[in-house]
Amino acid sequence: MSRPVDLDLLPEHAEVGKGGRLTIAGVDVLDLCEEHGTPVFVYDEQHIRNRCREAVAAFGADVAYASKAFFCTEMARVAHEEGMRIDVSTGGELFVALHAGVAPERLVLHGNNKSDAELAMALDAGVGRIVVDSFDELDRLERLCEARNARPAVLVRITPGVEAHTHEYVMTGQDDSKFGFGLASGDAEKAVGRLLGAPSGPELVGVHAHIGSQIFALDSFAKAVEAIAPFFSTLGVSELCIGGGLGVGYVEGEPTPSFEGWARAVRAAAADAGIPAGVSLSAEPGRAIVAAAAITCYTVGTIKDIPGIRTYVSVDGGMSDNPRPVLYGSGYEAFLPRETAASRPRTVTVVGKHCESGDVIVRDAAVPEDLAVGDILVTPVTGAYGHSMASNYNKVPRPPVVWVRDGAARVVVRRETFEDLVSRDC
């Protein structure tokens, strides 16, 4: 490949500035790296806000941001400000959302193994929806509700038996899944019967299903609705959430479906299946909100050419700030922000600094011929499952998160220090 990087993969307000230098929201990326160091996650704040608004316009006020994709105090505030519910799946995510000032009734608690402490935290805070995932959880929730005389609104998560076209590690709607109550096994019917038959305790208000992540084929969501509809229509409840999973293009040629198209496909399937028009049809996008909003900037430290085999380009981050290539074989592009629109005729393997041969960021990266040690190298579409899955492997401090908007940059998550690495040691 000799073409420049596809600018459609960059954040919405990215531009090629003077001398070919990359700017985002009016901020020069190379200047930002000089100020904040590398690695660094750089997010286009207005891009995030625009995607939140599109999601609300497509699905309505019940649409929830899936916080697992990327979460921090500021992200919680922005999603809340833009009218989204927020889907949290652990006590930690719940704590961050509450710390950010998110109204508890706008929170949805997920998780396949919620502890007594997490459920109690949600009940005491007044979380708006709890998505029940197992019979053991029902036992815990009923006991806690009785002790508190509480009646929280709950959705039952079901596995509809739909295998989405995606990586097996992020498929969740098939019968063989750790999530939810199976339709085919009859567990979903048992769970609903238990909830509907209880005069007190959790109140069933809807059904939830999630079939996987990074899904481009909208008919997968339609198939899920078709599978759910006969069961759902017998319950007399008013909410149906189809979960998240909308795909995002990471490399040139991959499509990115719109929220409008996604909602239209779900609504059409619901209408065809006889689901009443008054039912609230919602979704839980995460990746589709934030993935393309960010880039990761690295500094090239070593270039090692092995004649006849490959050239390794080592950068100052790696699997500790982006484990997706190691976990899923995920693909990324790479380019130099000093010459954003330059052709990229050279093929290299971009690797991290960790003590693993599998610490690969881009297996076959197209880069400019003049790539050199000391260059800033960028991977786009890293706004989801980079920061949120980051680790301290090899005791590498996690990068900062910098948001840019209207020509200004601000740190929303500071860089970790070496002192942070020992702050919890006893």
Q: Which residues are catalytic?
A: 355
Tell me, letter by letter, the H, E, C secondary structure of the chain: CCCCCCHHHCCCCEEECHHHCEEECCEEHHHHHHHHCCCEEEEEHHHHHHHHHHHHHHHCCCCEEEHHHCCCHHHHHHHHHCCCEEEECCHHHHHHHHHCCCCHHHEEECCCCCCHHHHHHHHHHCCCEEEECCHHHHHHHHHHHHHHCCCCEEEEEEECCCCCCCCHHHECCCCCCCCCEECCCCHHHHHHHHHHCCCCCCEEEEEECCCECCECCHHHHHHHHHHHHHHHCCCCCCEEECCCCECCCCCCCCCCCCHHHHHHHHHHHHHHCCCCCCCEEECCCCHHHHHHHEEEEEEEEEEEEECCCEEEEEECCCCCCCCHHHHHCCCCCCECHHHCCCCCCEEEEEECCCCCCCCEEEEEEEECCCCCCCCEEEEECCCCCCHHHCCCHHHCCCCCEEEEECCEEEEEECCCCHHHHHCCCC
Sequence-ordered list of residues with C-beta below 8 angstroms from that of 193, at least 6 positions apart, any chain? none
Vertex 102, ends 96 and 105: CA angle to 5°?
115
Nearest by Cα to 380 from 72, 19, 4, 26: 4
Nearest by Cα to 140 from 159, 107, 113: 113
